[in-house]
């Protein structure tokens, strides 16, 4: 029998072998980078210091100390992984949960997943804030949230002495949801200040919308009172406040927004829910930048463009599709689709620098260039060529202090769909990640602009929170005044050693003062050169100005995110905060030089509005893209290769960027050789297949000529295939389902495919133009 | 097996520490046999490749849990079997939801031997129950002891033995073979 099996067994071909080993290697280097990165030592340190603190806290009783060290340590170490501490679950003596949200004095907030506790924290002052325990659970919970807000870490520990709660009232804290808690606390503070009501009254009355569910989603009036009370201890800890926004809210319920009672759900705009690109989303502004053609390298062997790490177009499309509409073709930017996928490129390692780099390898290794090419699954006879850049990662502890100016649009349009609430909560996420070295200022604009908060250290977090919570929609939109005010503040408080950045939160609708970008671009450009960058956060669906926001961000050395729900906000402000805040390369350009003997035609997918003239590649005055720490940039090309090109160089990728610290320009380069091109796309990395699928998806959505025969179903199948071999297929599965949604809408509406006869290209991919 | 004397354990320790050379050694030592195991198991080369990749990725993640009981290859084979099973589940689910997959059984492979006999073997393997197929492949092809197979499949040694023998008999019947002399010999060997 063994012989039988031996005779008929399958063998790996050398190339298959190589493909698998390549994957293994990639996985390994990825893991290695984990061990070598800040996360490992820092999470060890977090565990150790938590140990220390627990020990100090309980040293009065040695018996207790031993018990607690054992029972508390596991949750603390878990916290370093999934952001949650739940003492209640582990120890019968504890009532509550540790709140990660506010950064109290004595607690150093470092990153999404570590909380470092300064062992020197004077314990007595923290316990001093502890109120006398109340007997009534609901009241107690609110009172505690009031008073413990300043010292939540201590809070949880000191509560060890308190009697255990009723079984039903102990609620598990899950991860970053504690954000909701601090947010609710701030709202509560604002309320009690405004209304002059006592806490007890609040907890008795059905009025306060303290629970997340209440806050965003449900109508609170007419709810039976006992429900409210039952939920009160849960306040801020309800299951998911991502869900809260992802679900179409039935009603806008919030103290600030109370005037507006709208029960239609969203899309909450003129025209109600009329579907698809018509009146439902009444005033969306997009601009179509055309589609790159195939180019013969003998005509132009260089493809030069500025990098783009934004992903707003993808998020926006998702938002459209989830509302049951296809996005307008001009809202779809292929490069942003591809960039919103996770690639897990290995970060640069200094050891790597010797290999493959022909051009002035930079000694500090700012980028790792990853090249991969395989037959294109969608273009007959074409090769899909992926250029992937991975910026170096910066440990959270090494992040420079942030000097942020929030410029928040509080115009009437921000009242729609809870946009302002989304912004507030997003900013709370951001606050959660900041520490005492950071500073924040707050400018708002409606009809006029005003400074709500001058630059304030995070030491006074509570003041900042109160300022954010106090924002209310008002009047018209004077974006120009807001930005001018914001930049004025930022320039005043400019700090050479910090990351100076404007965080603009808007739906982009401007109707007073500047209504298109050009007037203020000068100011922005000047400040950008000085080192004040801009991050634009776009919110809102219904009337939304993509063009304005993208232009602002480009000009302002910044990045642009479209935030459609809290999950996305978390991505931008929690998971990628260091990348969002700290730029590692400015004015980054990519130039790919195709070898004309090997390549017959090439086409760059996307990046149409990032085009840079070939001759300007080394022109330092030309503004280009910024890359944040750990960011990934991906560009895809389709190439038609010469049949004889089986060996030797095919294309050389150069990147040029300015180091933001030294101002020095650096180039790095790497060459793709014909023998590196995989023979089958199946052998490619799953993320490569995913990119191909997503690019095809975007190409079809934007009615590209090159995808005129493309089928969404094929893209979906490929995406599904790729997602199967991914480690964390969650994002990939989202793509699969989005393509599925688009497919349904597509078959229902049968949109016109490619129509402009005058741009019909000279050359078709099927055509063999051997010379 | 004495875990102290197990050279695989040392290798696994180095691998767990992220030593790439150790991983290369593991990979080179195991890829061929695991690949053919998976190809037999899944009846499809392409999928076998995908699952083999997943197997290594998953092994990288879990190498810390290898304690030196049994050979490292057997431990990897356990992962491979597990991955193949979850692949199969996904495949079946998918087939229920959408149209059947275009790929029929084994298309490309150009292995040695008589293609007709090979096709029959592949077809016969698909007729076995999952457990029997696992047991047969692990025992007859990979040559593991029943104790090892039991721990891979999460059954007792005796159950593994039963599955392997029944599977082998079923396979023989399907192939229309008379018991080959080598099989009889191996039978004797196992009983001893």
* pLDDT tens digits for range A282-341: 445 566 566 777 888 888 888 899 887 777 788 888 888 888 888 888 888 888 899 888
Among A87, A608, A630, A51, smallest CA distance to A343 is for A630
Range name among A118-127, A373-382, A560-569 with the lowest pLDDT average: A118-127
Shortest Cα–Cα distance, A19 to chain B (Å): 9
**Residue A757 above 60 pLDDT?**
no
Give the H/E segment covering residue A505: strand A499-506
pLDDT average, residue stretch A395-407: 85
When CB atoms are compared, the residue of B27, B35, B113 closest to A8 is: B113
Which DSSP symbol is given to A757? G
Answer whether A126's CB lies under 8 Å from A106's CB: yes
Does A480 score more than 50 pLDDT? yes
Interface of B with A in 150-169 (CB under 8 A): 168
Contacts of A682 in chain B (CB under 8 A): 46, 49
Q: Which residue has the higher pLDDT, A755 or A27?
A: A27
- b/e map A595-604, b = 16+ CB within 10 Å: beebbbbbbb
Residues 93-122 of B with CB under 8 A from A: 94, 109, 111-113, 117-118, 121-122
* Best B15, B16, B17, B18 residue to mutate vs chain A (most A CBs within 10 Å): B18
CA-based nearest distance B183→chain A, Å: 6
A686 vs A678: CA distance, rounded Å: 13
Per DSSP, what are the bridge partners of residue A469?
none
Contact of A39 with A397, CB cutoff 8 Å: no
Is B45 within 8 Å of A35 when comparing Cβ atoms? no
Specify the 3-state DSSP secondary structure of A305.
strand
Do B186 and A8 make contact, defined as CB atoms within 8 angstroms? no
The domain defined by B1-109 folds into: Rna Polymerase Sigma Factor; Chain: A (1.10.1740)
Query: How far is residue B39's CA from residue A432's CA, in Å, rounded to a whole number?
Result: 50
**Residue A205 in contact with partner chain B when CB distance is under 8 A:** no
Question: What is the spatial distance between Cα A721 and Cα A682, in angstroms, rounded to a whole number?
Answer: 9
Comparing alpha-carbon positions, the chain A residue that sits nearest to B177 is: A1
Cβ within 8 Å, pair B27-A24: yes
CATH numbers and ranges of domains, chain A? 39-257 (no CATH), 302-394+587-682 (2.60.40.1230), 399-581 (3.40.50.410)
DSSP helix/strand/coil, A87: helix
Contact A1 B57 (CB under 8 A): no
Q: What is the mean pLDDT of chain A?
A: 67
CATH 1.20.1260.10 fits B114-192, yes or no: no
| Predicted pLDDT of residue A354 | 40
d(CA A155, CA A101): 13
Per-residue confidence band for A622, with pLDDT thresholds at 50, 70 and 90: confident
In the predicted model, is pLDDT for residue A435 greater than 60?
A: yes
Q: What is the mean pLDDT of residues A492-500?
A: 87
Cβ–Cβ gap B53/A24 under 8 Å? yes
Q: Given this model, what pLDDT does residue B1 score? A: 44
Cα-Cα-Cα-Cα dihedral of B113, B114, B118, B119, to 10°? 150
- Chains A and B form CB pairs within 8 A to the count of 98
Q: Do the Cβ atoms of A10 and B23 come within 8 Å?
A: no
- Reference B25, options B47, B10, B40; nearest CA is B10
Residue A698, CA distances (Å) to A290, A314, A394, A451, B32 in order: 13, 9, 32, 41, 39
Q: CB within 8 A of A527, min separation 6: which ones?
A: A487, A490, A491, A556
Q: Which tokens is B156 given?
A: 């007792």
Rounded to an integer, what distance in angstroms lies between the CA atom of residue A363 and that of residue A351? 10
Mutant choice from B49, B86, B179 vs A, greatest count of A C-beta within 10 A: B49
pLDDT > 90? residue B149: no
3-state SS string for A18-39 = HHHHHHHHHHHHHHHHHHHCCH
Cβ separation of B113 and A7 shorter than 8 Å? yes
Mean per-residue pLDDT of chain B = 76
Q: How much is the CA Rg of chain B, to the nearest whole Å?
A: 17
Going by pLDDT thresholds of 50, 70 and 90, the confidence category of residue A545 is low
What are the tokens at A431? 């606050």
Residues in chain B with CB shorter than 8 Å from the CB of A728 are none
Kindly state the percentage of chain A with pLDDT values over 70.
60
Alpha-carbon distances of A300 from A293, A307, A596, A600, A612, rounded to whole Å: 12, 20, 9, 11, 13
CB-nearest partner of B140 from A2, A20, A25: A2
CA A213 vs CA A228, A231, A451: distances in Å:
11, 10, 31
Instruction: Please check whether residue A576 is in contact with residue A537, taking contact to mean a CB–CB distance below 8 angstroms.
Output: no
- Rounded CA Rg of chain A: 27
Name the 3-class secondary structure at A744: helix
* Contact assignment for A9 to B39 by CB distance below 8 Å: yes
Residue range B9-61, pLDDT digits in tens: 888 888 888 788 888 888 888 888 899 888 888 887 888 888 898 888 888 88
Q: For residues B93 and A724, is the Cβ–Cβ distance under 8 A?
A: no
Higher pLDDT, A738 or A188: A738
Express as a percent the part of chain A with pLDDT over 90: 7
Question: Over the stretch A635-693, which tens digit does the pLDDT of each residue have?
Answer: 999 998 888 888 889 999 999 988 887 778 888 888 898 888 888 888 888 889 999 99
Contact by Cβ (8 Å): A707, A636:
no
B181 → chain A, closest CA residue: A1
Q: What is the mean pLDDT of residues B82-97?
A: 75
Residues 6+ apart with CB under 8 A from A601: A294, A295, A296, A297, A639, A640, A763, A765, A769
Distance from CA of A764 to the nearest CA of B (A): 29
Q: Is B140 on the interface with A (CB under 8 A)?
A: yes
8 Å CB contact of A27 and B60:
yes
Residue B49 and residue A3: Cβ atoms within 8 Å? no
Which of A71-75, A283-287, A342-346 has the highest average model confidence (pLDDT)?
Answer: A342-346
Chain A contact for B187, CB < 8 A?
A: no
| DSSP-based three-state secondary structure for B114 | coil
Burial class of residue B53, CB neighbours in 10 A (0-12, 13-18, 19+)? buried
Kindly determine whether residue B113 and residue A16, on different chains, have CB atoms separated by under 8 Å.
Answer: no
pLDDT of residue A74: 37
Instruction: Provide the CA A739 distance to its chain's centre, in angstroms.
Output: 21
- Average pLDDT (A533-559) is 73
Whose tokens are 């479209």? That residue is A562
Gap between the Cα atoms of B111 and A334, Å rounded: 42
State both tokens at A78.
Answer: 């878990």
Q: Is the model's pLDDT at A351 over the cut of 50? A: no
pLDDT value at A174 more than 70: no
Q: Does A356 touch chain B (CB under 8 A)?
A: no
- Least CB–CB distance from A10: residue in B24, B111, B140: B111
Distance from CA of B124 to the nearest CA of A (A): 12
- B53 interfacial to chain A (CB closer than 8 Å): yes
A 69-88 near B (Cβ less than 8 A): none
Read off the pLDDT of each residue in A231-259 and give the average, rounded to a whole number.
31
Measured distance CA(A471)–CA(A458) in Å, rounded: 19
Residues of A in contact with B18 (CB under 8 A): 28, 31-32, 35
- Whether residues A1 and B182 touch (CB distance < 8 A) is answered with yes
Q: How far is B191 from chain A (nearest CA, A)?
A: 17
The residue ranking higher by pLDDT, A285 or B1, is A285
DSSP string, A590-604: EEEEE-TTTEEEEEE
Q: Which helix (H) or strand (E) holds A367?
A: strand A367-375
Q: Do B57 and A16 touch (CB under 8 A)?
A: no
Identify whether the C-beta of residue A423 lies closer than 8 Å to the C-beta of residue A407.
no
- What pLDDT, on the 0 to 100 scale, is given for residue A692? 92
- Tell me what ipTM this predicted complex has: 0.80
A5 neighbourhood in chain B, CB within 8 Å: 36, 40, 121, 137, 140-141
Pair of tokens at residue A767? 């055509």
pLDDT given for residue A591 in this prediction: 92
- Least Cα distance to A146 among A418, A455, A442, A465 occurs for A465
Q: What is the pLDDT of residue A643?
A: 83
Chain B residues near residue A718 by CB distance under 8 angstroms: none
Question: Is pLDDT larger for residue A262 or for residue A329?
Answer: A329
The domains of chain B are located at 1-109, 114-192
Burial class of A465 by CB neighbour count within 10 A (0 to 12, 13 to 18, 19+): buried
């Amino acid at each position: 029998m063994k012989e039988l099996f031996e005779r008929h067994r399958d063998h790996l071909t050398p190339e298959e072998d190589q493909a698998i080993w390549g994957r293994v290697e990639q996985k390994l280097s990825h893991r290695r980078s984990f061990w070598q990165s800040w996360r490992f030592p820092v999470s060890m340190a977090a565990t150790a210091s938590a140990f220390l603190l627990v020990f100090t806290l309980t040293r009065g009783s040695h018996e207790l100390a031993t018990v607690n060290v054992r029972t508390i340590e596991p949750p603390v170490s878990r916290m370093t992984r999934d952001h949650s501490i739940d003492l209640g679950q582990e120890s019968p003596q504890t009532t509550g949960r540790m709140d990660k949200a506010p950064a109290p004095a004595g607690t150093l907030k470092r990153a999404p997943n570590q909380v470092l506790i300064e062992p020197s924290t004077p314990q007595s002052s923290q316990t001093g804030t502890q109120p006398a325990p109340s007997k009534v659970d609901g009241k107690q919970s609110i009172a505690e949230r009031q008073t413990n807000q300043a010292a939540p870490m201590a809070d949880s520990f000191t509560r060890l002495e308190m009697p255990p709660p009723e079984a039903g009232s102990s609620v598990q804290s899950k991860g970053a949801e504690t954000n909701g808690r601090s947010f609710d606390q701030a709202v509560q503070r604002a309320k009690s200040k405004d209304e002059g009501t006592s806490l007890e009254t609040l907890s008795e009355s059905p009025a306060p919308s303290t629970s997340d569910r209440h806050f965003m989603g449900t109508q609170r009036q007419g709810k039976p009172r006992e429900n409210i009370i039952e939920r009160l201890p849960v306040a801020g800890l309800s299951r998911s406040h991502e869900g809260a926004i992802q679900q179409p809210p039935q009603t806008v319920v919030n103290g600030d927004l109370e005037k507006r009672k709208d029960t239609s759900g969203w899309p909450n705009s003129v025209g109600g829910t009329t579907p698809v690109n018509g009146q439902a989303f009444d005033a969306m502004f997009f601009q179509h930048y055309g589609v790159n053609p195939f180019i013969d390298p003998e005509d132009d062997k260089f493809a030069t463009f500025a990098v783009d790490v934004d992903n707003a177009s993808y998020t926006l499309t998702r938002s459209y599709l989830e509302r049951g509409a296809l996005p307008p073709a001009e809202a779809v930017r292929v490069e942003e689709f591809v960039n919103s996928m996770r690639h897990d490129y290995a970060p640069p390692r200094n050891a790597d620098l010797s290999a493959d780099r022909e051009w002035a390898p930079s000694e500090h290794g700012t980028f790792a260039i990853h090249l991969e090419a395989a037959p294109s699954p969608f273009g007959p006879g074409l090769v899909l060529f992926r250029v992937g850049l991975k910026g170096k990662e910066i440990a959270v502890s090494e992040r420079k202090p942030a000097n942020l100016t929030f410029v928040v649009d509080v115009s009437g349009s921000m009242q729609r769909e809870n946009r302002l609430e989304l912004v507030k909560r997003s900013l709370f996420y951001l606050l959660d990640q900041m520490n005492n070295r950071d500073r924040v200022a707050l400018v708002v604009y409606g009809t006029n602009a005003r400074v709500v908060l001058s630059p304030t250290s995070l030491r006074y977090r509570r003041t900042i929170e109160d300022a954010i919570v106090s924002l209310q929609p008002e009047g018209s939109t004077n974006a120009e005044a807001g930005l001018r005010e914001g930049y004025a503040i930022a320039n005043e408080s400019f700090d050479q050693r910090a990351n100076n950045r404007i965080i603009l939160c808007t739906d982009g609708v401007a109707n007073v003062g500047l209504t298109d970008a050009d007037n203020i671009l000068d100011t922005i450009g000047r400040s950008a050169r000085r080192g004040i960058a801009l991050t634009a956060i776009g919110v809102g669906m219904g009337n939304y100005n993509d063009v304005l926001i993208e232009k602002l961000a480009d000009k302002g050395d910044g990045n642009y995110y479209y935030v459609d729900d809290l999950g996305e906000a978390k991505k931008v402000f929690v998971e990628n905060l260091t990348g969002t805040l700290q730029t590692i390369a400015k004015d980054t350009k990519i130039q790919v030089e195709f070898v004309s003997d090997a390549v017959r035609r090439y086409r760059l997918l996307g990046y149409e509005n990032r085009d840079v003239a070939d001759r300007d590649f080394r022109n330092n005055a030309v503004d280009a893209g910024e890359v944040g720490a750990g960011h990934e940039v991906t560009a895809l090309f389709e190439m038609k290769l010469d049949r004889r090109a089986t060996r030797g160089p095919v294309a050389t990728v150069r990147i040029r960027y300015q180091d933001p610290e030294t101002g020095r320009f650096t180039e790095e380069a790497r060459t793709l050789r014909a023998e590196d091109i995989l023979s089958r796309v199946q052998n490619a990395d799953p993320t490569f297949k995913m990119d191909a699928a997503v690019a095809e998806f975007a190409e079809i959505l934007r009615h590209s000529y090159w995808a005129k025969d493309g089928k969404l179903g094929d893209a979906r199948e490929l995406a599904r295939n790729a997602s199967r071999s991914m480690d964390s297929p969650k994002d990939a599965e989202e793509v699969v389902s989005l393509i599925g949604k688009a497919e349904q809408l597509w078959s229902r509406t049968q949109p016109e495919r490619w129509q402009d006869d005058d741009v019909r290209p000279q050359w078709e991919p099927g055509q063999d133009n051997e010379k | 097996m004495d875990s102290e004397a197990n050279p695989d354990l040392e290798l696994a320790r180095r691998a767990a520490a992220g030593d790439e050379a150790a991983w290369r050694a593991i990979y080179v030592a195991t890829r061929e046999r695991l690949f053919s195991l998976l190809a037999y198991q899944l009846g499809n080369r392409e999928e076998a490749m995908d699952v083999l990749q997943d197997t290594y990725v998953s092994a990288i993640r879990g190498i810390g849990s290898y304690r030196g009981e049994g050979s490292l290859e057997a431990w990897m084979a356990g992962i491979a079997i597990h991955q193949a099973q979850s692949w199969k589940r996904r495949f079946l689910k998918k087939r229920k939801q959408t149209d059947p997959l275009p790929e029929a059984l084994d298309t490309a492979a150009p292995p040695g031997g008589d293609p007709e006999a090979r096709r029959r073997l592949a077809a016969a393997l698909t007729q076995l129950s999952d457990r029997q197929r696992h047991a047969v492949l692990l025992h007859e092809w990979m040559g593991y002891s029943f104790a090892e197979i039991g721990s891979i499949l999460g059954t007792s040694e005796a159950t593994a033995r039963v599955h392997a023998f029944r599977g082998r008999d079923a396979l023989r019947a399907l192939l229309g073979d008379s018991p080959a002399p080598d099989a009889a010999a191996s039978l004797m060997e196992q009983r001893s």
